[in-house]
Amino acid sequence: MTRYVVPENELIGVDEALAKVLEGVRPLPAERVGLEDALGRVLVEPVRARENIPPFPNSAMDGYAVRYKDVADASKEHPVRLRVIGSVAAGYAPELSVEPGTAIRIMTGAPIPPGADTVVRFESTDEPERKEGSSLEYVSVLVPPRKGDNVREAGEDVKAGEIVLDAGTLLRPQEIGLLASIGVTSVHVHRKPKVAILSTGDELLPPDSEISLGKIRDANSYSLAALVRKYGGEPIMLGIARDTEEDIRSRLNKGIEAGADLFLTSAGVSKGDYDVVKGVLNAEGEISFWMVRMKPGQPLAFGYVHGVPLLGLPGNPVSSIVSFEQFGRPMLLKMEGRSCIRKPTVQAVTAEPFKNSGRRNYVRVRVERKGDCYVVRKAGPQGSGVLQTLSKANGLMIIPEGVMKVEAGEPVEVQMLDWPEIVQCEI
């Protein structure tokens, strides 16, 4: 394993850091999954239809299957009276043909009987006016249809042999329904990333612990695991490592044994005396440490441990989430084979002024729609330990590098925290 140390004071921009971490991951190999597990997964190969959908011409309405010629001139004044020779329900094959002067009652989804080419819906006949219990032996058509009305042709939705879904398609509920309709019950999709999560710090205790002086509860393992799930991965919990190289090393090894595709660590990558994660990573593999010009979340590490990519996030609970959203989320989506990985943004207008240090700032805001426009306000105090403000926020307003102040009423770009990536991509 090559080892190198990048100067610790290296300051890089968010876009440059993102490009570097994305270079480090590839779409994961394929696995076959049943349709019930396929939601949100991405196809690795195209899917072809073996048969037409619908497989046979069928009725789109409840009504009467007729010959167009018979009823072309029907009107209220001159109704066309047809003899009803039978009926056909969805799920059954018609037993009779429609001969001139006759009709067959037909239900939605039932096959069009031989001889018929058009379906006249009940509303265009005297059926709704009929008294209960009156004979169904004849029906009068009161409105002329167009030829072929209410007939769904075989192959109208999908033609046999056609590629129904391309490789790279993200499977949404409608794609899953389409696959079921063509008889495809399992698909070849990119594997879900297994993401091993490690919190580091002597101060950390599990959430069910009583707090003593100096100790805090581990928030990051839980928020990061939830983010991994939110973006389609499977978390592997490596627990809390003490600030010793030994503990960190042995927990990372557990992640390797569990088959992790990606490591997420939190804390220990800044400049403090006990930021030992850096030491371990330097010794274990190729790791770069950067000070990314962003707020919250300056320190960031990226590299490989035994060939597995590792993203080292800052320790502050807000910084770790915001940094994950900028760097971890797109890595995960790329591993899942998703092509649409940009966090959705909206153009908004500020309702109040915002000050900035000049770094790219992700301000926790509430975005509200007012008529045609989105308006943003601070969601609360912006300290990077104040997780509650992120809980009140639905967006991250981006103040670009170099901007020291944004006035009220100025246009801004806001990342929407809970919008799916696909809203901003062509399907």
Using the minimum distance from each CB to ligand AMP, give the nearer residue, 272 or 409.
272
The footprint of ligand AMP on this chain (CB under 6 A) covers a number of residues equal to 17
At residue 83, the 3 state secondary structure works out as strand
317 binds, among Mg ion, ligand AMP, none (CB under 5 to 8 A by kind): ligand AMP
Q: Which stretch binds ligand AMP (CB under 6 A): 56-64, 160-168, 315-323, 405-413?
A: 315-323
According to DSSP, the β-strands at 58-59 and 151-152 are: antiparallel
Calculate helix-pair angle for 245-257, 277-284, nearest 10 degrees: 50
300 binds, among ligand AMP, Mg ion, none (CB under 5 to 8 A by kind): none
List the x/- string, 76-95, binding to ligand AMP by CB under 6 A: --------------------
124 binds, among Mg ion, ligand AMP, none (CB under 5 to 8 A by kind): none
One residue of 54, 113, 268, 297 binding ligand AMP per CB under 6 A: 268
Q: Which stretch binds ligand AMP (CB under 6 A): 24-32, 125-133, 179-187, 212-220?
A: 212-220
**Beta carbon of residue 270, minimum distance to ligand AMP (angstroms, whole number):** 4
Q: Is-cis flag, bond preceding 207, omega within 30?
A: no
381 binds, among ligand AMP, Mg ion, none (CB under 5 to 8 A by kind): none
One residue of 118, 124, 288, 316 binding ligand AMP per CB under 6 A: 316
Contacts of 7 (CB under 8 A, 6+ apart): none
Tell me the C-alpha distance between 222 and 231, whole Å.
Answer: 14
Residue 265 binds to ligand AMP (criterion: CB under 6 A): no
Contacts of 29 (CB under 8 A, 6+ apart): 190, 191
What's 281's DSSP letter? Answer: H
Using the minimum distance from each CB to Mg ion, give the nearer residue, 122 or 274.
274
Using the minimum distance from each CB to ligand AMP, give the nearer residue, 14 or 313.
313
Using the minimum distance from each CB to ligand AMP, give the nearer residue, 94 or 235.
235
Q: Given the rule CB under 5 A, which residues bind Mg ion?
A: 201, 267
Using the minimum distance from each CB to Mg ion, give the nearer residue, 140 or 320.
320
Residue of this chain nearest to ligand AMP (CB atom) = 315
Using the minimum distance from each CB to ligand AMP, give the nearer residue, 2 or 212.
212
**Beta carbon of residue 235, minimum distance to ligand AMP (angstroms, whole number):** 14
Q: Which residues in the 189-208 window bind ligand AMP by CB under 6 A?
A: 199, 201, 203-204
Tell me the C-alpha distance between 313 and 294, whole Å.
Answer: 13
One residue of 219, 238, 248, 305 binding ligand AMP per CB under 6 A: 219
Q: What is the DSSP string of 223-273?
A: HHHHHHHHTT-EEEEEEEE-SSHHHHHHHHHHHHHTT-SEEEEES--SSST
Q: What is the DSSP string of 320-376?
A: HHHHIIIIIHHHHHHHTT-S--SPPEEEEEESS-EE--SSEEEEEEEEEEETTEEEE
Dihedral pair phi/psi, residue 65, rounded to 5°: -80, 125
136 binds, among Mg ion, ligand AMP, none (CB under 5 to 8 A by kind): none
Contacts of 66 (CB under 8 A, 6+ apart): 82, 98, 103, 116, 117, 118, 119, 120, 141, 145
One residue of 113, 296, 314, 330 binding ligand AMP per CB under 6 A: 314
Contacts of 176 (CB under 8 A, 6+ apart): 35, 38, 39
Q: Which residues bind ligand AMP (CB under 6 A)?
A: 199, 201, 203-204, 216, 218-220, 266-268, 270, 272, 314-317
